[in-house]
């Protein structure tokens, strides 16, 4: 989470982070536009807090001091000024930089050190201290471990086999105890993701088989998608017919998601997987949000997602609806056809600016038949876009 009143500085930090960690999930918070964070704010669910020094009428060092006084608060990386350097250094944040002199390499090294230190602490409390041969906690019975697929700070992802049916599944296992005060946010998001996906019954949304919650663990068993990630397909080149088929299937999935009153908000090739039969499935609903549900922190001043796929309104922290997901889908369609992202810049702020101001790119002549559709998906103003994912399907 990035907290600072200056939009350019938030975008700069976002660019540095996503350059090194392209799959990072970032929320950017403006304490002036959105108001100072309340005393109850615990930072739960965040791996790092990147805290700038500009907070309107509040002193940055004072905000740092307030956050440090809160129990189980995430690691804080402070970006101060030369004037407050001595005072901030005395508070010993997890890392400290001067905001006007940020070097990308030193920043990445600093953030990596903080993350590794946190990982070492978390590993002493990890659930994965039982059967080291399997790597799965003994309480998760009925599954045979096959291999590790990946991990985050809060969860491990494993390929496993359900012993009763020999079905291969993906096990997403929450690392920390759901009752722990420092994991409440992570546990709530874990359950929210399960509830969101479990409510969907659609061939292009990953299937959920099981939720298990114990005194010291939680896990989701979901479908194993063995056809690889759409991101890899794009890198290798996608034939025109396949790109259109994928677009139709993703649009159909979005129709189902939106029909449940849910916005995806982080649609990108990394969140779309394929089965061996060529069908696609949305897999990650970690940023999904019920459209009419008020968030704990107001949407004003927040930015979620990945800049390359953000709609203009999302990139500027404005309210979003289904049409924002349609814009992201248009970016993916362009990338599937051409192998290139429609807008590139040296900074996240530059990418966000281009989404809002640059002309919609022209497809190569061989794809001219899809230009009208692309124009309707990538329109700058939501009112000028296709108004629903169902309209994408109808157009095709």
192 and 298 share a domain? no
Domain for residue 132, yes or no? no
Residue that has been written with the tokens 């959920």 in this structure: 208
Lowest mean pLDDT among 101-110, 237-246, 327-336: 101-110
7 and 29 share a domain? yes
Residue 344 belongs to a domain with what CATH number? 1.10.510.10
Residue 212 belongs to a domain with what CATH number? 3.30.200.20
Residue 23 belongs to a domain with what CATH number? 3.40.50.2300
Q: Is the pLDDT of residue 360 over 80?
A: yes
272 and 362 share a domain? yes
What's the structural domain count of the chain? Answer: 3
Catalytic choice (4, 47, 266, 325) = 266
Q: Assess whether 113 carries a catalytic annotation.
A: no
Q: Label residue 148 by pLDDT band (50, 70, 90).
A: confident
Question: How confident is the model at residue 233, as a pLDDT?
Answer: 93
> What is the distance between the alpha carbons of residues 221 and 79, in angstroms, rounded to a whole number?
40
Q: Are 262 and 237 in contact (CB under 8 A)?
A: no
Q: Is the pLDDT of residue 337 over 90?
A: yes
**317-355 burial: b if 16+ Cβ within 10 Å, else e:** beebebbbbbbbbbbbbbbbbbeeebbebebbbebbbbb
Q: Is 351 helix (H, G, I), strand (E, B) or coil?
A: helix
Of 223, 254, 272, the position where a domain reaches its end is: 223
The more confident residue out of 146 and 177 is 146
Question: How confident is the model at residue 5, as a pLDDT?
Answer: 95
Question: How confident is the model at residue 373, as a pLDDT?
Answer: 97
Domain for residue 129, yes or no? no
| Mean pLDDT for the stretch of residues 333-349 | 90
Domain for residue 131, yes or no? no
State the chain's mean pLDDT as an integer.
82
Q: Are 58 and 31 in contact (CB under 8 A)?
A: yes
Range(s) of the domain holding residue 272: 230-395
Domain for residue 255, yes or no? yes
Question: How confident is the model at residue 255, as a pLDDT?
Answer: 93
Q: Label residue 152 by pLDDT band (50, 70, 90).
A: low
259 and 360 share a domain? yes
Q: Label residue 217 by pLDDT band (50, 70, 90).
A: low
């Amino acid at each position: 989470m990035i907290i600072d009143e200056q939009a350019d500085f938030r975008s700069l930090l976002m660019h540095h982070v996503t350059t090194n960690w392209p799959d990072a999930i970032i929320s950017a918070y403006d304490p002036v536009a959105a108001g100072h964070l309340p005393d109850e704010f615990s930072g739960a669910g965040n791996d790092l807090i990147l805290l700038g020094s500009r907070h309107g009428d509040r002193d940055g060092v004072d905000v740092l001091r307030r956050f440090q006084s809160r129990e189980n608060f995430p690691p804080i990386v402070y970006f101060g000024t030369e004037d407050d350097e001595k005072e901030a250094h005395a508070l010993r944040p997890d890392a400290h930089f001067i905001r006007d002199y940020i070097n990308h390499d030193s920043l990445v090294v600093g953030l990596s050190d903080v993350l590794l230190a946190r990982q070492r602490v978390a590993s002493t409390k990890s659930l994965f201290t039982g059967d080291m041969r399997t790597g799965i906690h003994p309480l998760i019975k009925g599954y045979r471990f096959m291999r590790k697929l990946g991990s985050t700070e809060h969860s491990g992802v494993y390929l496993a086999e359900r012993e009763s049916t020999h079905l291969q599944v993906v096990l997403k296992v929450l690392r920390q105890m759901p009752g722990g005060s420092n994991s409440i946010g992570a546990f709530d998001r874990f359950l929210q993701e399960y509830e969101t996906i479990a409510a969907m019954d659609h061939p292009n949304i990953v299937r959920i088989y099981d939720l298990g919650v114990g005194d010291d663990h939680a896990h989701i068993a979901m479908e194993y998608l063995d056809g690889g990630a759409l991101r890899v397909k794009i890198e290798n080149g996608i034939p025109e017919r396949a790109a259109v088929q994928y677009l139709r299937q993703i649009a159909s999935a979005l129709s189902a998601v939106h029909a449940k009153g849910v916005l995806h908000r982080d649609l990108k090739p990394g969140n779309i997987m394929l089965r061996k039969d060529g069908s696609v499935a949305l897999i990650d609903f970690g940023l999904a949000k019920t459209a009419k549900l008020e968030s704990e922190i107001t949407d004003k001043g927040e930015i979620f997602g990945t800049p390359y796929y953000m709609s203009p309104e999302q990139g500027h922290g404005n309210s979003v609806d289904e049409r924002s997901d349609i814009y992201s889908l248009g970016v993916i369609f362009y990338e599937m056809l051409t192998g290139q992202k429609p807008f590139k810049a040296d900074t996240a702020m530059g990418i966000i600016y281009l989404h809002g101001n640059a002309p919609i790119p022209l497809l190569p002549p061989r794809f001219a038949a899809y230009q009208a559709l692309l124009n309707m998906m990538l329109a700058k103003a939501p009112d000028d876009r296709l108004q629903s994912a169902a309209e994408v399907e109808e157009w095709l």
